């Protein structure tokens, strides 16, 4: 049998932990950790945890949106962004994680999962550079 991937383990954990609380939860958690230890998967626990949190977010209908910008976004910008993101990702609860980055010169850079929408000035300049060197 193929070895279980981190994703498989995270899914399995999610399903077992989903409807538990209190002492049942702590027993299940303990079992999960000892399972990982028995199978020598403890080194993978960090990745499994990230995947687990992704699954939880998905269940709650949340979507993490990483935003990089040079200035803090205004509320109306965020509202506008939500509207646009809704068109692509459906009606989700968008959780904005904002980071400031002066090096981008201007614009925003939005990352959701492994999808990237790069509207930064830096990216534009880079593309222009490529364009110019290619058509010298």
Residues at the site binding other proteins, with contacts judged by CB under 8 A: 5-7, 47, 88, 111, 113-119, 124, 127-128, 131-132, 135-136
Pairing of strands 93-100, 108-112: unpaired
Residue number, 8 or 20, with CB nearest to other proteins: 8
Q: How far is the CB of 119 from other proteins (least distance, A)?
A: 7
Structure tokens at 55: 């699954």
The 3 state secondary structure assigned to 122-133 is HHHHHHHHHHHH
Q: How far is the CB of 47 from other proteins (least distance, A)?
A: 8
Cα–Cα separations (whole angstroms), residue 38 to 9, 29, 33, 41, 68: 14, 14, 9, 8, 41
Residue number, 16 or 66, with CB nearest to other proteins: 66
Residue number, 78 or 122, with CB nearest to other proteins: 122
Report the distance separating Cα 79 and Cα 98, nearest Å: 14
Q: How far is the CB of 111 from other proteins (least distance, A)?
A: 7
Collapsing DSSP to helix, strand or coil, 110 comes out as strand
Q: How far is the CB of 34 from other proteins (least distance, A)?
A: 23
Residue number, 2 or 19, with CB nearest to other proteins: 2
């Amino acid at each position: 049998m193929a070895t279980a991937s981190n994703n498989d383990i995270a899914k399995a954990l999610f399903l077992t932990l989903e409807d538990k609380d209190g002492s049942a939860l702590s027993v299940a958690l303990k079992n999960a950790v000892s399972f990982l230890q028995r199978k020598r998967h403890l080194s993978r626990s960090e990745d499994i945890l990230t995947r687990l949190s992704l699954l939880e977010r998905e269940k709650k209908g949340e979507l993490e949106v990483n935003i990089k910008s040079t200035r803090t976004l205004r509320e109306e910008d965020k509202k506008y962004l939500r509207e646009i993101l809704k068109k692509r990702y459906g009606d989700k609860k968008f959780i904005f994680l904002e980071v400031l980055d002066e090096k981008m010169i201007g614009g925003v850079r939005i990352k959701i999962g492994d999808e990237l929408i790069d509207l930064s000035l830096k990216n534009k300049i880079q593309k222009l550079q490529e364009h110019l060197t290619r058509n010298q």
